[in-house]
Structure 1
Amino acid sequence: MFKNYIKIAWRNLTKHKQQTVINLLGLTIGTISCLSILLYIFSQLGYDEHHEDAASIYRVETIIERDGKESFDTAAASPPIAFALKEDFPEVQEATRVVLTDVFYSNLISAADSEDAYYEPRVYMADSTFFKIFTYKFIEGNKETALKEPNTLVLSSYLANKLFGNQKALGKAVLWGSGEDAQTLTVKGVFDESYAKSHLDPNYIVSMSTPGMGTFVQNFESFATNNFVYSYVKIAKNSSGQNLQDKLQDFIHERGAKDLSNAGMTNKQLLLKNVRDINLHSKGRKNQIHEVSNIKYLYFLLTLAIFIQLVACINFINLSTARAGKRAKEIGVRKVVGAGKNSLMRQFLGESLLLSLFSVLISIPVTILLLPLLNELTQASLGYQDVFNWKIITLLLGIGILTGLVAGIYPAIVLSSIKPIRALKNMTLLQSGSGTFRKALVVFQFIVSISLVAAVIIITQQFRFAQSKDLGFKKDNLLALRIGTDAASSKFESLKSAFLNIPGVLHVSSGNYAPSEVVLSDNGLYLPGGNRENNTIVKRNGVSDGYFETMNIPFVKGRDFTPADTIDQIIVNQATLRAFNIEEENALSSRLVQSFGDETSEMRIIGVVKDYHFASLKQKIAPLFLYKEESPNWLFLKTQSDNYEVLLAGLEKQWKATVQNVPFDYVFVDKEVEKLYNEEKRLGQISVVFTILAILISCLGLFGLVSYVAEQKRKEIGIRKVLGASINSVVQLLTKDFIKLVGIAFLIASPIAYYFMQDWLEDFTYRIEIKWWVFVLAGGFAVIITFLTVGFQSLKSAVANPVKSLRTE
């Protein structure tokens, strides 16, 4: 019996080729969209699940309050907290700490016997307990002892190959840093960085007991300040993370009450986050050790996939019911010879399942061919092996079966309900009430299309707003060169003079943080006569004289630095004046106080600059002070050239003549600023692509419904034409109802789209206002699409010979 169903289904599909092609095209596009989105979503899932006892591993995060208000949050904590938790709570079995060193300084690394040195990102320092908590696949060495000794490190297989080629790296010496500060480290292990997905993604890890930053972390005792250490604890399997969380407030007050008071903190909260949740559930938590995803975006994409597939199902429903008349006699004859309603329903469901599963089969190779485009669109690294993941294949089959059932159930019910006598007499086959349901389905399609078009417009507007907004400095034609070493830093003045002699270089200056870099350095400041308990956190950046001219940051009051200025003379932004209620006219006579332990020092304001965005537009411009830095991390060049290839070659030649064994490492600031909005750019591009696909599928649905209406009204159209009706009047007859459907969909879609896009914009401190014309434009676009799609079929019906539609009576 099943074999017969398949045969009949196949014959019907091949008999009605146009309908089959349209249905198959719609379902295949929908399935490819679903598969592509699922592949990306799966690439963002499963982070840190490979660690042994991952459910028991937690990161300690921090929220600092001042004057009862949240003033600072971070994914890190103060240095002593992790091991203090192990001391105080028996359920904490192990603790470890990680410092991302290249946030503070960039060290060169090279093989000891090589002159080739490299700046490598994602450089960690970690305690010897790191590999007792986290699971890494070692290629060389023993993970149990790899970080126990000072001046040791482990390398990723990528870096080991870069430094030593095909030779064994274990036991080899590397130079870390340069000049007098260079340290010789011994390789104690090599790990496979491709083993599993983790928010911890180091290129190499240096032992925390290595002199320098590591010993600073190990010896630092304050439980309040220096919240830059990523701290992890592993608790007993029979313990609860929530129970430990409930004890942390008492812990921090018992251990750090004096430290909190000295730092001027009203309160400090410690939060635990399971490592498996870090990648997707860290929204709002700043200073992540690695770029994380946003679960809201994945929900958006999943919703988009569901809607696209529903739109494809609606097409099948509309096309199947629209062509019901062509199968009426078949149904009538089969019922007369004894076919029951259930057997007919199974037959029609079999056809839809066959078509749906066929679309699944087609979607797999097509998606594999489209993987390069998908990777470019999503910035993922998907391969064909991801497509053949058993979870993806299982989901895909489930989608195929569910799609077949959803798409086929309504046509199966409708077609199997046709009365055989009415079918054989060519009477009206379907009740008029069923048209309401079909119209509701098309309204749903319009709602999806209008909402997606509006969303794309708003996302694009916000991205362009971020790109074009006046950031308070000029990012165009601005180069940032990484200094990186003390030797290079000491030659800043020589480099500055040499660079200024190169045609195309207008200004040269330096600083500790490049624009777009997260400014982690800050101080708690207060006014003279105040006290440290009521201080205000102010970000800080060390710069050279000429910095503001290079960046084109205007002064509101005062002056730039001069060679004679000292570290106690500072320049502040307007946000700092507001934070301390200092009037601009009084700024240059004002001082700010900072305290470190028993030492207190005053800093005199010599200049006020206009607020500029030194962080993402997602964050409000924070108070900032700038001081004169003698050992900067970056060199900034304002340039103007028609041939940057020649300019960069000249800069590199001069760099290598002045600084030896330090790579010429540069970035264009405007490109780095753009990277701050990569997520929004990626979301916008994904939305555009899948919106186009959803609209394409919707057009097929419109074609299906107008075909049905034309089928129902073919005799009415014939009579009207015989009585003298024009082609225009017939086209209007068939299109006016669809314009009404667009209007209904517009009224429903506009508030829905506004609500969700307003919620999305809440993530941005500086954002666009949603304008009314966005929805009018989206609705107008839907009207145009309707006219193009419906008009074609309407015109075809209007020019048809009325004799052919009337002679069947």
Structure 2
Amino acid sequence: MFRNYFKIAWRSLWKNKLQTGINLLGLAVGTVCCLSILTYAVAQFGYDQQFEDSSSLYRLKTIINENDNGNPSAGTSPPIAFAMKEDFPEVAEVCRIVYFGEGNESLLRVTDSDESYYESRGYLADSTFFNLFNYPFIEGKPEGALNTPNSIVLSETLAKKLFGTKKALNKTLVLGSGEEEQTLRIKGVFKDDFGKTHLNPNYILTMNSGGTGERVMEIQNFATQNFVLTYLKLAPGADAGALESKLPEFLQRHGAKDLAAVGFSKSLFLQKLTDIHLYSKGIRNQIDKVSDINYLYMLLILALFIQLVACINFINLSTARANKRAKEIGVRKAIGADRGTLVRQFLGESILLSLFASVISIPLTALSLPFLNKLTEGNIGYLALFDWKILVALLTLGILTGFIAGLYPAIILSAIKPVKVLKGSISLNLGSGNLRKVLVVFQFIVSIGLISSVIIITQQVKHSQKMDMGFNKDNLIAVRLGTQEVSENFNAIKSNFETVNGVTEVSGSNHYPSEFILGDLGLTLPGGNPADQTLVHYDGVSPNYLKTVGTSLLTGRTLRTNDSIQVLVNKATIDAFNIPLDRAVGSKLIQTYEGEVDEFEIVGVTDNYHFASLKKEIAPMLLFNETQPGWIILKAETQQYEALLNNLETSWKTINPNTPFVYTFVDKEVEKLYAEEKRLGKISVVFTSLAILISCLGLFGLISFVAEQKKKEIGIRKVLGASVQNVVRLLTKDFLKLVGIAFLIASPIAWYGMNKWLQDFPYRISIEWWVFLIAGVVALIITLLTVSFQAIKAAITNPVKSLRTE
């Protein structure tokens, strides 16, 4: 029986090649969209599950309630970890990590080699690191690898870069240079393709070393220095919720005095290791790039809508061709086929077509993977398409799509009366069905909503791109100094760079413009309560920094080479302290920390400028005179950047022959501040275009249906003198009404959704009414172009052909 159904379904699909092709194209495009989004979404799940006892691993997060507006941070104070292990039997093991971030690369070289490299993703970790995270080793053993002072373990990738095919175990590396130089012994090499994880170290240096590790182990303050990432492994049977409820009392017991001294309150919370990648929105100081579960939900909902639009097309096209199959149905019923048999047959056809669309969507998606990876900035491989979860989801999607798309046509077609059909009298009465109108309105709602969203997202991205950053990002080059030894040569390097043709200004800074500045100070006005401090970020710059980057000085003077306690502040700082601009110069700010008092004198006020994400309001900032900065910032005026960079590198090598010349263009770094929104805009444009394409196929099917139903009416009207324009108007007016209804429904829905999205931006656009009008007009034009083709075709048909059977 099933074999018979299959044969009939195949013959019917093959007989109606045009309808089958349109249906197949619509379903295939919808399924490719779904499969692409589904593959990307699945790739974002399953992070950190490869570690043993991953369900027992947690990360601490901190909320500094008053002075940080309740924004959580992944960092905690250094002494908290081992105090928790000592106080709570529920905590089986702890590990602290200090992350040497992307903007804080370390200089590494093999001992007795002149070639050195700046390496990112360096971790400083306790010796317990591999007790929590069981990375497989290809050289050495994880047990005790970080116990010995000045020991280091490398990723397989870094080991191959430094040593090629030679063994790295027990060889030595030099970290840094000059006074900060450390000689390290390699105690192991671990595999760095060990599943999906937010922990992606290039190398791990033991905390039991000099420098930063020594300072971390000396810090005993439970309130400040929240830069350490703290991970916990709970004992078997321990309740994470019960442990978390004990943390306020724990923090009060150990840190009440410290918190009172700095004037803010603080809370600690547990976050499951396996939740970090998807549930860390708004958490600062992440160790690696994370995703957002709400972003994935949005993409999955978009995929669902596109697939529903494809299903609607199938329904419309199938009902449009109903009369073509009426005689077949009548004959089958006359020889004994019941309605259930026919329903199964038509469902079989739709499911077969849907499954075929699912099959061909795999190679189509594989071909589009490079584009998809570029669009989403993902790294999805071809094998991901054959993951059993993806294949099961694709099979389920194919069957469900076929069932949903084919159910309504199956019910309608199987209801045809054989007597009327065989007499030549067919009246399916589908043209005025309310369900058809609802489906069409839904298509238009999706199209208008997506078009509106794309316009608003594009506006916000352009607004971010054109927004005044408070500095001139164009033609700014930041050259990394990187080590203490190189920073000591700042004046010599600066003098050399000033002689390079094309360079107009040179200055120094500890952070290049737009780089996030983590460091902050708790400050008060003179005579203020030390417990009521305001957090002010700080950065060290050379005296001519403002001129180089193009930041305006509102009042006062710039820094001088002999300044010590003299500082510049931005306008946000004097606003935070309620200091009038005309009285700012000469005002004092006080830092009180552990009984010591430091005084800063304001000598100038700069305009506000962005040094963090555009989703954050500009915070107070203090600039002090820095003689040994971490970056050289230079302004260039040239069209020959390749020659300029070569000349700069040559100049660099005359002073720092063994240190790499590393630079970045500031405008490229600024683009990263709104990269997420830009990526969302591109994704929206692509999938909106595909949704509109599918909708156009559906409209083509609908006008075919209407023209089929009204062909005799059209013939009579033409015989009576109706013009082509009159016939086209007759066929299109109902669609225009449906576009109007969809416009009225889609506009408030799109406004609400995009208004919620824009709330993440302190510097956001206002949603204008004309955005929705444009979306409606675009939908209207697309409708007219799609419908008019078939309408004109029906209008110019010879009426004799439609009336000769009467």
Tell whether the structures are fold-level matches, with TM greater than 0.5: yes
Cα contact 1:28–1:363 (8 A) shared by 2: yes
For residues 432 and 20 of structure 1, the distance between their equivalents in structure 2, rounded to whole angstroms, comes to 21
How far off its partner does 1:237 sit?
2.8
Q: Where does residue 651 of structure 2 map in the other structure?
A: 654
1:705 counterpart = 2:702: yes
Q: Where does residue 267 of structure 2 map in the other structure?
A: 269
Equivalent positions of 1:571-650 (< 5 A) are 571-650=568-647
Structure 1 stretches lacking a partner, 5+ long: none
For residues 65 and 195 of structure 1, the distance between their equivalents in structure 2, rounded to whole angstroms, comes to 37
How far off its partner does 1:425 sit?
2.8
Q: 1:543 aligns with which of 532, 541, 544?
A: 541
Cα contact 2:180–2:211 (8 A) shared by 1: no
* Structure 2 letter corresponding to 1:665: V
* Structure 2 letter corresponding to 1:452: L
Q: 2:509 aligns with which of 508, 511, 514?
A: 511
Over residues 379-400 of structure 1, what are the superposed CA-to-partner deviations in whole Å (9 max), with x where a residue is unaligned?
Answer: 1111111111111111111101
1:669 counterpart = 2:669: no
Q: Where does residue 34 of structure 1 map in the other structure?
A: 34
- What TM-score, normalized to structure 2? 0.99
How far off its partner does 1:145 sit?
1.1
1:14 counterpart = 2:11: no
SS at match of 2:477: strand
SS at match of 1:494: helix
SS at match of 2:349: helix
Equivalent positions of 1:471-550 (< 5 A) are 471-550=469-548
Q: Where does residue 54 of structure 1 map in the other structure?
A: 54
Cα contact 1:710–1:797 (8 A) shared by 2: yes
Cα contact 1:105–1:633 (8 A) shared by 2: no
* Structure 1 letter corresponding to 2:616: Q
Cα contact 1:328–1:429 (8 A) shared by 2: no
How far off its partner does 1:515 sit?
2.1
Q: Where does residue 682 of structure 2 map in the other structure?
A: 685
Over residues 313-371 of structure 1, what are the superposed CA-to-partner deviations in whole Å (9 max), with x where a residue is unaligned?
Answer: 11100000010000001001111111000000000001001100111111111111221
Over residues 152-176 of structure 1, what are the superposed CA-to-partner deviations in whole Å (9 max), with x where a residue is unaligned?
Answer: 1111111000000001111110110
How far off its partner does 1:75 sit?
1.0
1:145 counterpart = 2:138: no
Q: Where does residue 230 of structure 1 map in the other structure?
A: 229
How far off its partner does 1:712 sit?
0.8
Superposed CA RMSD in Å reads 1.2
How far off its partner does 1:431 sit?
3.0
SS at match of 2:517: coil
Cα contact 1:506–1:640 (8 A) shared by 2: yes
Q: 1:297 aligns with which of 295, 298, 311?
A: 295
Stretch of structure 1 that moved more, 4-13 or 433-442: 433-442
1:163 counterpart = 2:162: yes
Q: Where does residue 416 of structure 2 map in the other structure?
A: 418
Q: Where does residue 203 of structure 2 map in the other structure?
A: 204
1:63 counterpart = 2:58: no
Cα contact 1:418–1:430 (8 A) shared by 2: yes
Structure 2 stretches lacking a partner, 5+ long: none
Over residues 125-161 of structure 1, what are the superposed CA-to-partner deviations in whole Å (9 max), with x where a residue is unaligned?
Answer: 0001111111212111111211111101111111000
For residues 186 and 41 of structure 1, the distance between their equivalents in structure 2, rounded to whole angstroms, comes to 41
For residues 653 and 435 of structure 1, the distance between their equivalents in structure 2, rounded to whole angstroms, comes to 77
Over residues 202-237 of structure 1, what are the superposed CA-to-partner deviations in whole Å (9 max), with x where a residue is unaligned?
Answer: 111100011110111111000000000000111123
Cα contact 1:487–1:659 (8 A) shared by 2: no
For residues 103 and 584 of structure 1, the distance between their equivalents in structure 2, rounded to whole angstroms, comes to 37
Q: Where does residue 183 of structure 1 map in the other structure?
A: 182
Over residues 397-443 of structure 1, what are the superposed CA-to-partner deviations in whole Å (9 max), with x where a residue is unaligned?
Answer: 11011111011111100100111122223334323576221111111
For residues 104 and 219 of structure 1, the distance between their equivalents in structure 2, rounded to whole angstroms, comes to 25
Cα contact 2:104–2:120 (8 A) shared by 1: no
* Structure 2 letter corresponding to 1:52: E
Q: Where does residue 97 of structure 1 map in the other structure?
A: 96
Cα contact 2:71–2:283 (8 A) shared by 1: no
Q: Where does residue 109 of structure 1 map in the other structure?
A: 108
SS at match of 2:664: strand
Equivalent positions of 1:299-378 (< 5 A) are 299-378=297-376
Stretch of structure 1 that moved more, 101-110 or 322-331: 101-110
SS at match of 1:453: helix
For residues 94 and 573 of structure 1, the distance between their equivalents in structure 2, rounded to whole angstroms, comes to 44
How far off its partner does 1:658 sit?
1.6
Cα contact 2:102–2:120 (8 A) shared by 1: no
Cα contact 2:447–2:692 (8 A) shared by 1: yes
For residues 137 and 408 of structure 2, the distance between their equivalents in structure 1, rounded to whole angstroms, comes to 57
Q: Where does residue 245 of structure 2 map in the other structure?
A: 246
For residues 444 and 103 of structure 2, the distance between their equivalents in structure 1, rounded to whole angstroms, comes to 52
SS at match of 1:93: strand
Cα contact 1:545–1:562 (8 A) shared by 2: yes
Cα contact 2:431–2:706 (8 A) shared by 1: no
For residues 519 and 228 of structure 2, the distance between their equivalents in structure 1, rounded to whole angstroms, comes to 13
How many residue pairs align between the two structures? Answer: 806
Cα contact 2:78–2:220 (8 A) shared by 1: yes
For residues 32 and 263 of structure 1, the distance between their equivalents in structure 2, rounded to whole angstroms, comes to 56
* Structure 2 letter corresponding to 1:43: A
For residues 593 and 775 of structure 2, the distance between their equivalents in structure 1, rounded to whole angstroms, comes to 58
For residues 329 and 432 of structure 1, the distance between their equivalents in structure 2, rounded to whole angstroms, comes to 17
For residues 783 and 707 of structure 2, the distance between their equivalents in structure 1, rounded to whole angstroms, comes to 15
* Structure 2 letter corresponding to 1:359: A
Cα contact 2:503–2:637 (8 A) shared by 1: yes
* Structure 1 letter corresponding to 2:689: I
SS at match of 1:302: helix
Q: Where does residue 716 of structure 1 map in the other structure?
A: 713
Q: Where does residue 120 of structure 2 map in the other structure?
A: 121
* Structure 1 letter corresponding to 2:223: A
Q: 1:106 to 1:11 in 2, by over 3 A?
A: closer
How far off its partner does 1:589 sit?
2.3
SS at match of 1:153: strand
* Structure 2 letter corresponding to 1:221: Q
- What TM-score, normalized to structure 1? 0.98
SS at match of 2:433: helix
For residues 80 and 38 of structure 1, the distance between their equivalents in structure 2, rounded to whole angstroms, comes to 43
Q: 2:693 aligns with which of 688, 691, 696?
A: 696
Q: 1:462 aligns with which of 441, 460, 463?
A: 460
Stretch of structure 1 that moved more, 709-718 or 415-424: 415-424
Q: Where does residue 737 of structure 1 map in the other structure?
A: 734
Stretch of structure 1 that moved more, 235-244 or 707-716: 235-244
Q: 1:176 to 1:520 in 2, by over 3 A?
A: same
Cα contact 2:101–2:287 (8 A) shared by 1: no
For residues 226 and 512 of structure 1, the distance between their equivalents in structure 2, rounded to whole angstroms, comes to 19
Q: Where does residue 723 of structure 2 map in the other structure?
A: 726
Q: 2:751 aligns with which of 745, 751, 754?
A: 754
* Structure 2 letter corresponding to 1:20: T
Over residues 517-544 of structure 1, what are the superposed CA-to-partner deviations in whole Å (9 max), with x where a residue is unaligned?
Answer: 2211000000100121001111011111
How far off its partner does 1:565 sit?
1.2
How far off its partner does 1:596 sit?
2.3
1:431 counterpart = 2:429: yes
* Structure 2 letter corresponding to 1:543: V
For residues 715 and 70 of structure 2, the distance between their equivalents in structure 1, rounded to whole angstroms, comes to 75
Cα contact 2:71–2:282 (8 A) shared by 1: no
* Structure 1 letter corresponding to 2:745: I
Stretch of structure 1 that moved more, 105-114 or 286-295: 105-114
How far off its partner does 1:453 sit?
0.9
